[in-house]
C-alpha cells in the first residue's frame, strides 16, 4: 500500500489529508498516478484538473511526472510552494 498525502488546496479538494492506496498495476510513475486519481472520482477530477499546478514528492523528495512510484512509497500532492 502506498501512503498518499494531500496538502493545501489539494487537501481541501480531495476532502482528506491522506489515504492508503494499493497502486493499480498500470501505475508506475507520478504522472500515471495523477491520471488514475483524476479519473477515479469527482474530487480527483477537480483537484488534478490543471496539470501545470500539480506538484509532487515521493518519499519526501520533490518528484517529476516521470518519477517512479511503488507500493510502500509516501507520495504527496500539493500546489506550487509559497513559503518564506
In angstroms, give the least distance from the CB of 71 to other proteins. 20
Measured distance CA(8)–CA(15) in Å, rounded: 11
Measured distance CA(31)–CA(16) in Å, rounded: 21
In angstroms, give the least distance from the CB of 26 to other proteins. 27
Q: CB-wise, 53 or 70, nearer to other proteins?
A: 53
Phi first, then psi, for residue 55 (nearest 5°) are: -120, 155
Which residues of the shown chain bind other proteins in the complex (CB under 8 A)? 5, 7-9, 11, 57, 60-62, 76, 78-84
Give the number of residues written for the chain: 84
In angstroms, give the least distance from the CB of 8 to other proteins. 4
Amino acid at each position: 500500500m502506498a501512503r498518499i498525502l494531500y496538502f493545501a488546496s489539494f487537501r481541501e479538494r480531495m476532502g482528506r489529508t491522506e489515504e492508503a492506496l494499493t497502486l493499480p498495476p498500470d501505475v508506475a510513475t507520478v504522472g500515471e498516478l495523477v491520471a488514475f486519481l483524476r479519473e477515479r472520482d469527482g474530487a480527483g477530477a477537480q483537484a488534478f484538473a490543471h496539470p501545470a499546478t500539480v506538484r509532487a514528492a515521493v518519499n519526501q523528495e520533490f518528484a517529476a511526472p516521470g518519477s517512479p512510484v511503488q507500493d510502500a512509497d509516501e507520495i504527496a500532492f500539493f500546489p506550487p510552494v509559497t513559503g518564506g
